[in-house]
């Protein structure tokens, strides 16, 4: 399966979902654009500004930025997009902007291909990272551990235990003529 | 396994999902040998994975499709209009398990709702009374909880929030089912271990699917020739206009032909009309069974929308059954709310991977991550309501784009009807009230996902001019061509469709069996 088909599956907005997941081996791709510490740092900041989680360490954003770089190096069109994007970040001194300023700037470039590339790659790669799952408190795969039946599937204790059976009037409610039902409701309301 | 010669005029079923898998079981049980051609492979429960994207890529139908219309899916997921599966068991491999029945008047919405501008409403040629015995059989096959004496599933965390919220806003009709996953062992399948991966196939085997029940049992009769990785590309006919065979690609992509005396089409609401349209000929220039011009039209996908709510305290909604929570209070037709028809609320949980991609396609920034950051404290529900059939919402062949075999891909066109929008807006407000009543600190109106419910593109009708099949699933035009899948649904009702698809397939099978036994086909 080639990239163009993958790109096709999701629309422009979410195009990277499949690219992310079907990447054969990003390490084998010939990486040039953005593959230096300075550019990577800039992109890491952008990933974080787009999906800010203050409590996340650098690790997940670093992996995400690496993915943004590797996918941005696939094909000459992507390379041009990535290199222009990085250049424009440098030109506005994006690296020095605080969160508020960066957000304002990102809002301005929101419709650009470069922004969409970074955003759509990040939303998939970041939230599909087991390290992030741990940070968010998601325990993930459970079958091998016997499911959650003995591991808290019903441990919520800040609300009362609910009824699980159907209400005895349900069958009659579903059977009732809807027009009659509406008339009765109206009667109750107006009385 | 039974081998049927390709030259033998066989009973051929296309697809092995809710409709096709059920048909294969019913026919072989009655002693009729069948060939079932399924485009996907046969994954067993040990092959399923507890991973959202992993399972999606394992089984989802990813052949090229295109979209058009004003629905948001066309913008956000332009190449992926649906979430359907290509595997033995079809989309019942990934389904959740909600199994409500239709209400009586939902079989006659045209008479009940009256004229709705722009909608192509039609009464079904069957009634609830006709369907009741088949509903019971389908519930027993699926093992629906709360039915047939089967126990209810316990309350999981997501349900606790949902049910208490429902109670506080004055709703009464909430429960943990009916749901097609066993609470206790039933029919050879174990009780749920609440592993939270129903949408990924359910490795424990507690959830019903035709890959777990109907297909294995049909194989046991030794009358089923199941050919996996076999993608049908054309149904052929003889000079009398009767279907006489199907052409398909085998696992190696080679073209094969199976002679047929009866063809039962069960490829779902996108592929079934597509195949009929692709099987055009000089005798049938508009495609097979299409004298009405209705093939591909009246595509419905249910209203849908989700509400996610973040709380101050932990919920951990991903633990446990994905959709074992129901509320029926808004399901009755009541035009005073500003729309016709009604909707169910059902609990729904996603992992971070899917929530990130689907919470707000295209969304970013602090508000979005506040929601994601509170992942442990999120509860969620799905809104599923009746959408209006519209003639122009349809599956057509897109001859500009070709699939892996060089055939035109299906284009899925969908424009939302004002009634759909009014109902969704109302439902979002009510869902917010529900979660706010139990202390939500943030709520999110999530738009519809790629369609999981796909209905109506070969609809049943009493009169041949109004639809494609009759009340037995038999095409009005061709007496040895039947359709048994979601595409035959005349209108969508509020209920999740699979119980009805399964019940219809059982009902249709009786006609197929008696017609074959009488020698009429
Ligand atoms: C995540 C998810 C959750 C769901 N939850 C629920 C729920 O809780 N309750 C509910 O009622 N419904 C639910 N559904 C919907 C349910 O899965 C479908 O309504 C049902 O499976 C449709 O049945 P069908 O027979 O029309 O098609 P399918 O089950 O999709 O079967 C069609 C089969 O035909 C095969 N096929 C198609 N074209 C060809 C061809 N040309 N040649 C050979 N084979 C072909 C396909 O590979 C597939 O196996 C859910 C769906 C999803 C995706």
Q: Summarize pLDDT for B197-251 with one digit per residue, the tens.
A: 999 999 999 999 999 999 999 999 999 999 999 999 999 999 999 999 999 999 9
Task: State in Å: Cα B86 to ligand 1 middle.
Answer: 8
Mean pLDDT score, A60-82: 95
Residues of chain B with pLDDT > 70: what percent? 100
For position B327, what pLDDT does the model report?
98
Q: Are strands B305-310 and B10-14 parallel, antiparallel or unpaired?
A: unpaired
Q: Look up the ipTM and state it.
A: 0.95
pLDDT at A7 over 50: no
Task: State in Å: Cα B96 to ligand 1 middle.
Answer: 11
Mean pLDDT score, A88-101: 97
What DSSP string describes chain A? Answer: --HHHHHHHS-STTTHHHHHHH-S-GGGS---TT-SHHHHHHHHHHHHHHS--TT--HHHHHHHHHHHHHHHTSHHHHHHHHHHHHHHHHHTTGGG--HHHHHHHHHHTTTSHHHHHHHHHHHHHHHT-HHHHHHHT-----GGGTTTTTTTTT---SSPPPP-SPPTTHHHHHHS-HHHHHHHHHHHHH-
pLDDT at B33 over 60: yes
Q: Summarize pLDDT for B147-203 with one digit per residue, the tens.
A: 999 999 999 999 999 999 999 999 999 999 999 999 999 999 999 999 999 999 999
Q: Domains in chain B and their CATH numbers?
A: 1-92+130-144+209-298+458-521 (3.50.50.60)
Most ligand 1 atoms within 8 A of CB, residue of B62, B95, B506 to mutate: B95
Q: Summarize pLDDT for A112-138 with one digit per residue, the tens.
A: 999 999 999 999 999 999 999 999 999
Mean pLDDT score, B489-513: 98
Torsion angle of C-alpha atoms B164, B165, B170, B175, degrees rounded to 10: -60
Of B195, B203, B364, nearest to A51 by CB-CB distance is: B364
Banded model confidence at residue B360, pLDDT cuts 50, 70, 90: very high
Mean pLDDT score, B106-128: 97
For position A21, what pLDDT does the model report?
52
For position A183, what pLDDT does the model report?
72
Chain-chain contact of A138 with B74 (C-beta, under 8 angstroms): no
Of B78, B320, B335, nearest to A11 by CB-CB distance is: B78
pLDDT at A67 over 90: yes
For position A187, what pLDDT does the model report?
72
B462-479 exposure pattern, b = at least 16 Cβ within 10 A, e = fewer: eebebbbbbbbbbbbbbe
Structure tokens at B50: 């507890």
For position A6, what pLDDT does the model report?
40
pLDDT at A66 over 70: yes
Chain-chain contact of B194 with A132 (C-beta, under 8 angstroms): no
Chain-chain contact of A170 with B375 (C-beta, under 8 angstroms): no
Banded model confidence at residue A28, pLDDT cuts 50, 70, 90: low
pLDDT at B475 over 70: yes
Helix (H, G, I), strand (E, B) or coil at B152: coil
Residues of chain A with pLDDT > 70: what percent? 82
For position A12, what pLDDT does the model report?
39
Taking the CB of residue A21, how many other CB atoms lie within 10 A of it? 16
For position A29, what pLDDT does the model report?
54
User: Which one of A1, A11, A99, A187 makes the best mutation probe of the B interface by having the most chain B beta carbons within 10 Å?
Assistant: A11
Question: pTM of this prediction?
Answer: 0.96
């Amino acid at each position: 399966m080639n990239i163009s088909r993958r790109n096709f599956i999701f629309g422009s907005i979410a195009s990277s979902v499949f690219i992310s997941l079907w990447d054969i081996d990003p390490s084998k791709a010939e990486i040039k654009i953005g593959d230096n510490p300075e550019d990577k740092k800039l992109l890491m900041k952008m990933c974080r500004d787009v999906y800010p989680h203050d409590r996340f360490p650098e690790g997940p954003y670093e992996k995400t930025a690496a993915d943004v770089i590797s996918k941005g190096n696939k094909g000459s069109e992507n390379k041009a997009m990535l290199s222009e994007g990085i250049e424009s970040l440098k030109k506005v001194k994006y690296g020095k902007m605080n969160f508020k300023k960066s957000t304002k700037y990102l809002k301005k470039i929101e419709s650009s291909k470069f922004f969409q590339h970074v955003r759509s790659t990040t939303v998939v790669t970041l939230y599909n990272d087991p390290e992030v799952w741990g940070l968010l408190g998601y325990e993930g795969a459970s079958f091998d551990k016997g499911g959650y039946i003995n591991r808290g599937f019903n441990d919520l204790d800040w609300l009362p235990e609910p009824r699980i059976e159907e209400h005895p009037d349900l069958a009659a409610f579903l059977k009732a003529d809807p027009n009659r039902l509406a008339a009765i409701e109206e009667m109750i309301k107006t009385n | 396994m039974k081998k049927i010669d390709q030259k033998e005029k066989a009973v051929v079923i296309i697809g092995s999902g809710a409709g096709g898998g059920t048909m294969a079981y019913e026919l072989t049980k009655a002693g009729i040998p069948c060939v079932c051609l399924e485009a996907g492979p046969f994954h067993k429960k040990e092959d399923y994975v507890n991973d959202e994207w992993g399972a999606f890529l394992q089984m989802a139908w990813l052949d090229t499709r295109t979209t058009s219309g004003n629905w948001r899916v066309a913008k956000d997921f332009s190449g992926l209009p649906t979430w359907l599966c290509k595997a033995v068991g079809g989309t019942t491999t990934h389904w959740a398990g909600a199994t409500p029945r239709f209400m009586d008047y939902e079989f006659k919405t045209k008479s009940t709702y009256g004229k709705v501008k722009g909608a192509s409403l039609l009464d079904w040629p069957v009634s609830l009374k006709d369907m009741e015995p088949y509903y019971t059989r389908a519930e027993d096959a699926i093992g629906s909880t709360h039915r047939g004496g089967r126990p209810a599933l316990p309350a999981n965390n997501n349900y606790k929030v949902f049910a208490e919220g429902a109670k506080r806003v004055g709703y009464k009709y909430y429960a943990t089912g009916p749901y097609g996953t066993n609470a206790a062992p039933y029919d050879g399948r174990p009780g749920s271990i609440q592993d939270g991966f129903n949408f990924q196939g359910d490795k424990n085997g507690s959830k019903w699917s035709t890959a777990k029940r109907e297909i294995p049992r049909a194989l046991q009769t030794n009358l089923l020739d199941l050919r996996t990785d076999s993608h049908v590309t054309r149904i052929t006919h003889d000079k009398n206009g009767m279907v006489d065979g199907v052409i398909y690609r085998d696992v190696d992509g080679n073209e094969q032909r199976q002679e047929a005396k009866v063809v039962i089409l069960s490829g779902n609401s996108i592929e079934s009309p597509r195949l009929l349209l692709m099987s055009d000929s000089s005798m049938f220039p508009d495609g097979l069974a299409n004298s009405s011009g209705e093939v591909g039209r009246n595509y419905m996908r249910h209203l849908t929308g989700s509400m996610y709510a973040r709380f101050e305290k932990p919920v951990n909604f991903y633990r446990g059954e994905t959709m074992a929570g129901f509320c029926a209070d808004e399901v009755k037709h009541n035009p005073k709310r500003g729309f016709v028809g009604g909707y169910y609320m059902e609990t729904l949980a996603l992992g971070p991977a899917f929530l990130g991609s689907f919470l707000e396609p295209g969304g970013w920034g602090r508000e979005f991550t506040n929601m994601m950051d509170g992942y442990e404290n999120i509860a969620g529900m799905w809104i599923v309501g009746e959408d209006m059939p519209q003639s122009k919402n349809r599956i057509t062949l897109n001859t500009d784009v070709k699939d892996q075999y060089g055939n035109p891909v299906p284009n899925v066109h969908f424009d939302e009807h004002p009634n759909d929008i009014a109902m969704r807006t109302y439902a979002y407000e009510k869902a917010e009230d529900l979660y706010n009543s139990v202390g939500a600190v943030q709520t999110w109106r999530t738009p519809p996902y790629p369609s999981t419910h796909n209905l109506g593109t070969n609809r049943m009708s009493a009169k041949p001019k109004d639809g494609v099949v009759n009340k037995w699933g038999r095409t009005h035009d061709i007496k040895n061509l039947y359709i048994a899948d979601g595409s035959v649904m005349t209108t969508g009702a509020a209920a999740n469709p699979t119980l009805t698809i399964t019940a219809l397939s059982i009902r249709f099978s009786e006609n197929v069996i008696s017609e074959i036994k009488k020698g009429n086909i």
